[in-house]
Amino acid sequence: MRISELSRRSGVSVATIKYYIREGLLPSGRPTAATQAEYGEQHLRRVRLVRALISVRGLSVHTTRAVLGTLSRELPETHRVLGLATGAIRLAEETVHGSHQQAEVDTLIHEMGWHIHQDAPARTTLTDILTTLHGLGVPLNRQTLFSYARLAEETAMVDLEQLEGVEDPLELAERTILLTTLLEPALLALRRLAQEHQSTGRHSR
């Protein structure tokens, strides 16, 4: 398809598509004439993905490039794509890192029977948050942490069910990024709704 059709089908303006190409977020089309190029379904999927990451998640071009870079390096190892692509999207800013909490996270991962790369960014995030809560005098106790981990495991099972049946490795990786990153705000929104409901029940009687 021409760039005009790619624009119409993706709902992204031609100028923005050209910007994505210049910024290395979208591969160029196949040249068909001096000023024309041909785009395929892969381009359409990629334009939609980039738009979702930038407009919906509010990621910077820099972070989006990092997320997509993981995708091209690590195919077809979906589990690496998951850990690393989302790792580019930082969850927290803090750098306080307690060795006690690090051991706590290692123990959790071990006892949950999880196989996780040593360099998975989520390890660090979790350690830093536990360290901060400890420093604020409201540490998360072991039982609570394990409750959350079990719920996270069930959530991940629901996540991965949605990827079943997708055979093309590139499409699988793109779908993975989309569901992971776009569902994060949705899941937090559900938690906030459930909290409001629960809290009304407990505190308004």
Residues 89 to 128 in contact with a second copy, rule: CB under 8 A: 91-94, 109, 112-117, 120, 122-123, 125-126, 128
Q: Which of 7, 64, 70, 180 forms a contact with a second copy (CB under 8 A)?
A: 180
- Min CB(27)–a second copy separation in Å: 19
Q: Are 25 and 66 in contact (CB under 8 A)?
A: no
Query: Per-residue x/- mask for a second copy, residues 142 to 161, rule CB under 8 A?
Result: --x--xxx-xxxxxxxxxxx
Identity of residue 130: L
* Residue 29 vs 130, nearer CB to a second copy: 130
Q: Which of 1, 37, 52, 61 forms a contact with a second copy (CB under 8 A)?
A: 52
Stretch that binds a second copy, among 12-20, 32-40, 60-68, 191-199 (CB under 8 A): 191-199
Stretch that binds a second copy, among 13-21, 29-37, 45-53, 60-68 (CB under 8 A): 45-53
Angle separating helix axes 61-74 and 78-87, nearest 10 degrees = 160
Cis peptide before 27 (omega within 30 of 0): no
DSSP H stretches of helix in the chain: 3-10, 14-22, 41-51, 61-74, 78-87, 99-112, 121-135, 142-161, 169-203
- Min CB(128)–a second copy separation in Å: 8
> How many residues touch a second copy (CB under 8 A)?
85
6 binds a second copy (CB under 8 A): no
Identity of residue 135: G
* Residue 29 vs 50, nearer CB to a second copy: 50
What are 139's two structure tokens? 């540490």
How far apart CA 19 and CA 138 sit, in angstroms, is: 46
Give how far Cα 167 sits from Cα of 127, 170, 173, 175, Å: 35, 9, 10, 11
What are 70's two structure tokens? 């993981």
Stretch that binds a second copy, among 14-22, 30-38, 63-71, 194-202 (CB under 8 A): 194-202
72 binds a second copy (CB under 8 A): no
- Min CB(26)–a second copy separation in Å: 15
Stretch that binds a second copy, among 13-21, 32-40, 67-75, 78-86 (CB under 8 A): 78-86
Of the candidates 149, 53, 165, 58, which has an alpha carbon nearest to the alpha carbon of residue 110?
A: 149
Query: What are all long-range contacts of 135-141, with beta carbons under 8 Å and residues at least 24 apart?
Result: 135/96
Residues 158-177 that bind a second copy (CB under 8 A): 158-162, 175-176
